[in-house]
Amino acid sequence: MQSVNPVSRDPAPSRLRYRMQRWMLTPGIRLGLRVGMPLALVVAAAGSYLADADRRGALVQQAVDLRESLEQRPEFLVGVMAIDGASADLSDAIRAAVPLDFPISSFDLDLESIRSAIAVLDPVKSVSVRIRPGGVLQVDVAERQPVVVWRTRDGIRILDESGARIYQIEDRKSRPDLPLIAGDGAQFAVAEALELFAAAAPLKERLRGLVRIGERRWDVVLTRDQRILLPPDDPVRALERVIALSEAQDMLERDVAVVDMRLAERPTLRMTPDAVQNWWRIRDIKESGQ
Amino acid sequence: MADFYHTQRAMRQMRQQAMQRGVVAILDVGSSKTACLVLRFDGIGRLSEDNSIGSLAGQSGFRVIGAATTRSRGVQFGEITAMQETERAIRTAVQAAQKMADIRVDHVIACFSGANPRSYGLDAQIELEGQVVTEHEVARVLASCDVPDYGAGREVLHAQPVNFALDNRSGLSDPRGQLGQDLSVDMHMLTVDAVAVQNLVHCVKRCDLELAGIASSSYASGISALVEDEQELGAACVDLGGGSTGVSIFMKKHMIFADCVRMGGDHVTADISMGLAIPTANAERIKTFYGGVHATGMDDREMIEIGGDTGDYEHDRRRVSRAELIGIMRPRVEEILEEVRARLDAAGFEHLPSQQIVLTGGGSQIPGLDGLASRILGQQVRLGRPLRVHGLPQAATGPGFASAVGLSLFAAHPQDEWWDFEIPVDRYPARSFKRAVKWFRDNW
């Protein structure tokens, strides 16, 4: 039996220390101590701090304040709105459509909604909105160009080349420089109408306008209520034929009411009732003279 | 017979688990030191890109990642005599090795030297059921070896088939798959005192470790100290330890005999201590610094301070010549070697084709031992150091670590033993069938 209390120092670890060391060498325990325990401490500290509703509120308030102070810095403030490419009327309309009270933080500006609000305005063809350095809300607008006047029962409208409505006018005479079209569905064939107007340049003095008939073909209306009925297919060619006839034989100068070109192989003329009466009378004289 | 079969099988399973985990500890419980190595198994890796360094005789599958040695306590003649002390020593060594390896070790393979090992040669012959030798046939022939009555209180430590013969062809190392009629086997069985094994198992259990294998240290040091051709051609390994001297004879890469002499370096120290009347610690110190077995004229003039701690100046200042020290050591070393010679003669070592004897163990570091040994044991004596294994620290490459290194090799590539084969069903004791029937009756 060994002595109970050995005099010399025992190099052997006690059972507890031995087990402890083995325990600490276990990979799971080591990972737990290295990662799990700091994590648990942090979570516990954060949890105990946030357990109080007032502290939580204060923390949220602080975050909100910080955000606001950042947003209200002069670097992010937008002072004016610059509109390029728009007429004065359109500019006013845009300013009315986008009511902003400047200065405003650029974080509060929703550029996409501003853009869509401007894009729904009739005279606007396309628009891009951006914030320019220097605190300027830059709005670049491409305006629709008025090309024709469209008269309907509801009123008189100005259309661009794609047939989109630009604005409404009270009186045809306010835009005498633009050609006139009329009829249901005329706005869908503005391009064709423009071609016809170009072809009808020789008749410029007498041309009153175009009328869309049945949403498929055009009538050219001239002064003295003369009409040229064009076919739905290739109306420009038909019109050119009429103009050629007219120039050769002064057809349109005569007392003709309607030139019907709807059937290309059988152009038809309708004379005015007076002309018919005259013609009949002249024929009678000739027959009686025989 | 079935008991040790099952315990050894359980240890093999434990070893499999340790291999899967990849870490196993090697524990050499000796009389003078307890060594612990921590091995990491990470597959066979090549050491160099261009394959210029090979697989190092197959032991490159592991790497030593922790090593620690401590003074043994409570172990005499390689047997545990004071459990608490031994447990503390194991704890110290395992803790230090774990600390160096920085990993927790749960499985341990242990070896010890003493416990009166006794070798038996068994043989058996059976007629094959089919034409082909299958694993089942091998198990059957191993099971049909008639086991001698090795006495109560003994336990089988190793039971290795060393030779198979199929019909008239002998010297087969692995007969599986071959065709024949009669299969016979020669088996080497090593038994030790059961108490010593139980004590060791208990100590290891007390340290919260699982025993994954147990081996005789003479076998382990033979594995590491003998080179491959010596193991093949036949050689004896003499492991001069602290409390006991292990002897093992190898032939055709199998151990065919093991024994141990219950004398070792501690007895030399005790002789010096008694002869010079000095403390054991001093005796150990002057033995390791000035010890030898051949006295020369120079040794008469070399005076050694032997010290003492009595407080008496005259007594503490005594000096002896180195020749006197050698005069004390030599008779004891001669006695040990003569005892070894007797064991080798008893085993019939002189009939072996090769008479190579390899001295290893801590005691083999005595200067001049090879000359003395060649005079007693025969001409072909050399000093052996353990094989170099991967990652072994310099401090653990001495011959004293032969059994620890050998145990590492044993752990990495254990030899097939009897319990690696399934026991044939008809050999199961009837008791287990009765138990199974009883279980069915109880539960259904």
Q: Do A18 and B91 touch (CB under 8 A)?
A: yes
| A16: chain B residues, CB-CB within 8 Å | none
Taking a C-beta distance cutoff of 8 angstroms, is the pair B44, B61 a contact?
A: yes
pLDDT of B343 strictly over 80: yes
Tell me the mean pLDDT in the region B56-77.
80
Q: Burial level of A149, CB count in 10 A (0-12/13-18/19+)?
A: buried
Q: Do B88 and A10 touch (CB under 8 A)?
A: yes
| Rounded Cα gap, residues B73 and A2, in angstroms | 11
Residue in B126, B128, B113, B122 with CA at minimum distance from that of residue B160: B122
Q: Give CA separation, B142 vs B103, B184, B187, in Å.
A: 40, 9, 8
Question: Confidence class of residue B431 from pLDDT cuts 50, 70 and 90?
Answer: low
Least confident of A159-168, A265-274, B188-197, B418-427: B418-427
Look-up: residue for tokens 């070894």? B340
| Rounded Cα gap, residues B221 and B30, in angstroms | 12
Q: Do A26 and B104 touch (CB under 8 A)?
A: yes
Q: Return the residue in A21, A26, A29, A34 with the most chain B beta carbons within 10 A, the one to mutate for interface testing.
A: A21
Q: Burial level of A73, CB count in 10 A (0-12/13-18/19+)?
A: exposed
Q: List pLDDT tens digits, range B282-333.
A: 999 999 999 899 988 888 899 998 887 788 888 888 899 999 999 999 999 9
| Rounded Cα gap, residues B381 and B400, in angstroms | 18
> Shortest Cα distance from A39 to chain B (angstroms)?
24
Which residue blocks in B39-119 are alpha helix, DSSP H? 83-101
Q: What are phi and psi of B25, to 5 degrees?
A: -105, 145
| Rounded Cα gap, residues B70 and B34, in angstroms | 5
| Rounded Cα gap, residues A225 and A258, in angstroms | 9
Nearest to A22 among B70, B89, B98 (CB): B98
Q: Do A11 and B92 touch (CB under 8 A)?
A: yes
Percent of chain B with pLDDT over 90: 34
Q: Where is B165: in which H helix or E strand?
A: strand B154-166
Spatial neighbors of A255 by CB under 8 A, at least 6 apart, are A271, A272, A274, A275, A278
| Rounded Cα gap, residues B180 and B183, in angstroms | 8
Structure confidence at residue A43 (pLDDT): 96
Residue in B259, B159, B255, B157 with CA at minimum distance from that of residue B211: B157
Residue in B305, B435, B411 with CA at minimum distance from that of residue B38: B411
| A27: chain B residues, CB-CB within 8 Å | 103-104
CB-facing half-sphere around the CA of A24: CA atoms within 13 A: 10
Question: What is the fold, at CATH topology level, of the domain defined by A74-143?
Answer: Ubiquitin-like (UB roll) (3.10.20)
Long-range CB contact pairs, B368-376, < 8 A, 24+: B368/B292, B368/B293, B368/B294, B369/B293, B369/B333, B371/B293, B371/B294, B372/B293, B372/B294, B372/B330, B372/B333, B372/B334, B372/B337, B373/B238, B373/B337, B376/B334, B376/B337, B376/B338, B376/B340, B376/B341
Structure confidence at residue B3 (pLDDT): 66
Q: Return the residue in A17, A18, A24 with the most chain B beta carbons within 10 A, the one to mutate for interface testing.
A: A18
- Walk across the sheet containing A124-132 and list its strands: A80-84, A136-143, A124-132
- Walk across the sheet containing B356-360 and list its strands: B254-261, B245-251, B235-240, B356-360, B381-383
Identity at B78, one-letter amino acid code: G
Residue in B222, B107, B228, B106 with CA at minimum distance from that of residue B158: B222
A34 lies within 8 A of chain B by CB: no
- As given in the structure block, the two tokens for residue B137 are 């046939």
DSSP A35: I
Long-range CB contact pairs, A242-249, < 8 A, 24+: A242/A267, A243/A199, A243/A200, A243/A202, A243/A203, A246/A203, A247/A202
pLDDT of B148 strictly over 80: yes
Domains of chain B (ranges; CATH) run 119-192 (3.30.1490)
Question: What is the fold, at CATH topology level, of the domain defined by A148-285?
Answer: Rossmann fold (3.40.50)
Taking a C-beta distance cutoff of 8 angstroms, is the pair A123, A141 a contact?
A: no
Structure confidence at residue A3 (pLDDT): 56
Domain-by-domain residue ranges, chain A? 74-143, 148-285
- As given in the structure block, the two tokens for residue B66 are 């922790």
Q: Return the residue in B70, B84, B88 with the most chain A beta carbons within 10 A, the one to mutate for interface testing.
A: B88
Question: Beta partners for B257?
Answer: B249
Structure confidence at residue A129 (pLDDT): 87
ipTM confidence: 0.74
Question: Beta partners for B237?
Answer: B248, B358
- Entry pTM: 0.66
Taking a C-beta distance cutoff of 8 angstroms, is the pair A63, A93 a contact?
A: no
| Rounded Cα gap, residues A150 and A158, in angstroms | 6
| Rounded Cα gap, residues B381 and B370, in angstroms | 7
pLDDT of A21 strictly over 60: yes
Q: Return the residue in A16, A25, A34 with the most chain B beta carbons within 10 A, the one to mutate for interface testing.
A: A25
Question: Confidence class of residue A90 from pLDDT cuts 50, 70 and 90?
Answer: confident
Q: Burial level of A132, CB count in 10 A (0-12/13-18/19+)?
A: exposed
Question: Confidence class of residue A142 from pLDDT cuts 50, 70 and 90?
Answer: confident
| B70: chain A residues, CB-CB within 8 Å | 11-12
Least confident of A6-10, B18-22, B329-333, B424-428: B424-428
> Shortest Cα distance from A35 to chain B (angstroms)?
18
Q: Do B70 and A11 touch (CB under 8 A)?
A: yes
The three-point CA angle B50-B53-B56 to 5° equals 145
Q: Burial level of B391, CB count in 10 A (0-12/13-18/19+)?
A: middle
Is there a common fold for A74-143 and A148-285? no
pLDDT of A2 strictly over 60: no
Q: What are phi and psi of A154, to 5 degrees?
A: -80, -25
Look-up: residue for tokens 């008469």? B300
- Write the DSSP assignment of B19-57 as a string of letters: HHHTEEEEEEE-SSEEEEEEEEE-----SSTTS-S--GG
pLDDT of A200 strictly over 60: yes
A10 lies within 8 A of chain B by CB: yes
| A15: chain B residues, CB-CB within 8 Å | 91
Q: What are phi and psi of B309, to 5 degrees?
A: -130, 45
Q: Do B92 and A13 touch (CB under 8 A)?
A: yes
DSSP B78: T
CA dihedral B189, B195, B199, B200 (to 10 degrees): -10
Residue in A132, A93, A97, A147 with CA at minimum distance from that of residue A117: A97
Question: Confidence class of residue B68 from pLDDT cuts 50, 70 and 90?
Answer: very high
Structure confidence at residue B428 (pLDDT): 55
Structure confidence at residue B238 (pLDDT): 94
For strand B235-240 and strand B303-305, is the pairing parallel, antiparallel, or unpaired? Answer: unpaired
Question: Beta partners for A222?
Answer: A207
Kindly report the average pLDDT of chain A as a whole number: 85
| Rounded Cα gap, residues A74 and B310, in angstroms | 93
| Rounded Cα gap, residues A76 and A57, in angstroms | 27
Query: Chain A residue with minimal CA distance to B72?
Result: A12
Residues in chain B: 444
Q: List pLDDT tens digits, range B89-130.
A: 999 999 999 999 988 999 999 998 888 899 998 888 888 888
Long-range CB contact pairs, A21-25, < 8 A, 24+: A21/B95, A21/B98, A21/B99, A22/B95, A22/B98, A22/B104, A22/B208, A25/B98, A25/B99, A25/B102, A25/B103, A25/B104
Structure confidence at residue B430 (pLDDT): 58
| A21: chain B residues, CB-CB within 8 Å | 95, 98-99
| Rounded Cα gap, residues A193 and A147, in angstroms | 10
> Shortest Cα distance from B118 to chain A (angstroms)?
30
A188 lies within 8 A of chain B by CB: no
- Walk across the sheet containing A268-271 and list its strands: A165-169, A156-159, A148-151, A180-182, A207-213, A217-222, A227-229, A256-260, A268-271
| Rounded Cα gap, residues B294 and B370, in angstroms | 11
- Name the 3-class secondary structure at B144: coil
Residue in B429, B111, B72 with CA at minimum distance from that of residue B260: B111
- As given in the structure block, the two tokens for residue A9 are 């120092």
> Shortest Cα distance from A59 to chain B (angstroms)?
45
Nearest to A12 among B89, B99, B208 (CB): B89
CA B384, B254, B427, B442 dihedral sign is positive
- As given in the structure block, the two tokens for residue B263 are 């004398």
Q: Do A18 and B84 touch (CB under 8 A)?
A: no
Question: Confidence class of residue B237 from pLDDT cuts 50, 70 and 90?
Answer: very high
Q: What are phi and psi of B277, to 5 degrees?
A: 55, 55
Structure confidence at residue B2 (pLDDT): 54
